[in-house]
Each structure stands twice: as structure tokens, then as C-alpha cells.
Amino acid sequence: MAGHRRHLTFWYNLAAVALLLALLHGPLAEAQPLPWQLCNATAGNYTEGSAYQANVRALASALPANASSSRALFAEGAAGTAPDKVYAIALCRGDTNASSCAACLAAAFDTAQQLCAFNRRATLFNDPCILRYSDQDILANVTDNRGMFVAWNYNNVSTGRMAVFDATSGQLVNTSGDYASAVYDAFSGMLVNATADYAAKDSVRRFGTGEMGFNVFDSPYHNIFSLAQCTPDMSEADCRSCLGDIIRRMMPKYFVGKPGGRVFGVRCNFRFEAYEFFSGRPLLQLSGLTPSPPPPGLSAPSGLPPSPPGLRPAASGNINNREGELLLDRCVLLWLALTIKRTSKIAPPLLVLRPASPGNYRDARFDVGLWGSH
């Protein structure tokens, strides 16, 4: 009998060890879907049945309909009087239809009051809408974009090697994956900035989407897609300045070598990915990248790099000119690579909130960081 108990104890212990190993070495954290919330408990709370709660609910009953019925898909408002006055901003993505906009914002008000229960200030980021309410006048300063989420892919752009023509030696030579990654970074930056230009010029929604072909390297990334948006009450100059600020600060700090990333801000936000994540055709399409052929007598490898748009001199059929063209290609791409690498040595994010993946990310892992306060 004692031997039977020892036998059972052994199997119980073995099962416990197996369970522990499964927990330790199992898959990474399950997908943490949107929404992502910013709850400011330090700014004070309200109580059940208070005037502040009534004002939040008044805005919840009005703003979803106001935003979804607006051409701008945007609404803001205030309810009540001090000290219980509540201000709110409600924004839907520019590619959203009215019914989806209304449903998203209605759910956002409900979810914010659950996840940030009784907090006087709350922000909720979702697809396809953003909501913020506060006891501070957040309507007065349209350029205040504090309180942002920054998310980036755990994956890296392909580190495969690629071949370029070396005009000095007259031979095809291989380059490292860092070189290819830096070129991807450079062109994703070009697309994001071009999309920001488009969004700023959209006087109705301050919204833009873009696409650039990138079928160059031996990697799964053949296209880059981007999105940029500001709240429509911003001027063209303020919108472009807001987007330029977060692009300039966040791209080299968080997104170097990454196939995708996003900055979620209430007043302005942007995103880029190696897959299409928005609805409808891109509003902006940049010329796809095509490989430059080698000089006559050499066969072109599949991984030959592109010439950046607008930088390729006209071909004359002369071998010396062709060598000069390819040397220019290589010099330009090398300059881009070195520029990106110089800006990539920046400290990691101050705070990593969740090592999980939101449902709208196709990759298994990503990081989320918090930037600023709200």
C-alpha cells in the first residue's frame, strides 16, 4: 500500500513538473487585443452617482452620434460646470464608415469607464477610434499630444545577404543584412513622411494612407503600407508639425530594423506595416522599387538593390556611365545605411507595458511603450 502511494506521489509530482514546464516554456503571452487604455488615477477619482459621472455619461450619449454623422468622423464637447465639468475628444479613423465609427465610440465610452473605473481622466485607443475625456480643458490646445502608446514588431527585417555591383572591382559583391535593413528603414521613413504630407493637406479628415512597392530583397516583405492622421480641428501646419515630431522622435528610437510599428496619439498618430491594415485603396501610392541591372556581360542577381526614386542619372548605354550609375546607387544606399545606424543607438523605451500582441498585429510578438503623461 505504501509503495502504491509512493507510485502515485511520483506521478503527481511528475505531472506538476510537466505543468510548470508548460507554463515556463509555453507560447508567449496570448494576444492582448485592443483597446489599450491610459488611466490617470493620480488626477483624482469621481464617485458613483456623482455629477462628474453624469457628465461623462452625457458625453457618451452624444459624441458617438455626432462624430459618426460628421464628414470629419470627429467630435468634441464638454458637459457640466466646474468642478465637475468634463471635456472629451472622439475621433474615428478616416477609412471608417459611419456605423462602425458610432459603434466603436459607444463601446469606447463603456470600456473606458470599466478599465479606468472612476478615474477623472481616461484615454482609450482602439481600431478604428480614439477617445479621451478629462477634467482638464483638452479642447483648448489642439497641439497637445501627450499620453501616447508606441508599439513595434518584435520581428526584424530580413537579414539575408544581397548582391551589388562594385564599380571599383568590376564584380558582384555581397552585403550584410544590416545594409538591407537600413535601406528598408530609409524607405519606410520616406513613405511615412509622404503619408503625413498627404494627411496634413486633407482639410476634411486630416487623414492619409500610402503604399510603396519593395520587392527587392530576399525577404517576406514586398510592400510597405502606412497611415497618418490628425484631429480635423488642427490646421495643416499644426498637423504636419505634430506628425513630424512623432515621426522624427519615434522612428529612429523604436522602429529601426522593424517591419512595422505605430504611435498612438490622440491629436496625431501614424502606423506602417509590411501588410495592408486599412480599408480601401491607398490614397497615396509611391513608385515601386526596381533593381538596377549590372553592366553588360554580367547577369543580374535576384537581390540586386534599387536606386532611390529621383536619384538615378539617365542611362546612355555607355559602360562607364553605367558603372557610374551603379556606383551612385551603392553610395546613396550606403549613406542611408550609415545614417540609420548612427541614429539607432538610442536608449530603449522607458516603460514596457505588455509583452503581448494585439489582435490586429499578425506577428507573434511586439513591445508596447508609454510616452509622456496625459
Mean pLDDT per 10-residue segment, the chain (374 residues):
47 35 32 77 94 98 98 98 98 98 98 96 96 97 93 75 46 54 86 98 98 70 92 98 97 92 96 94 81 41 35 31 36 40 33 31 37 48
Give the model's pLDDT for residue 178: 65
| Superfamily designation of domain 150-371 | Gnk2 domain, C-X8-C-X2-C motif (3.30.430.20)
| Superfamily designation of domain 36-140 | Gnk2 domain, C-X8-C-X2-C motif (3.30.430.20)
Domain with CATH 3.30.430.20 in the chain: 36-140, 150-371
Give the model's pLDDT for residue 183: 78
Give the model's pLDDT for residue 176: 52
Backbone phi, psi, residue 121, to 5°: -125, 130
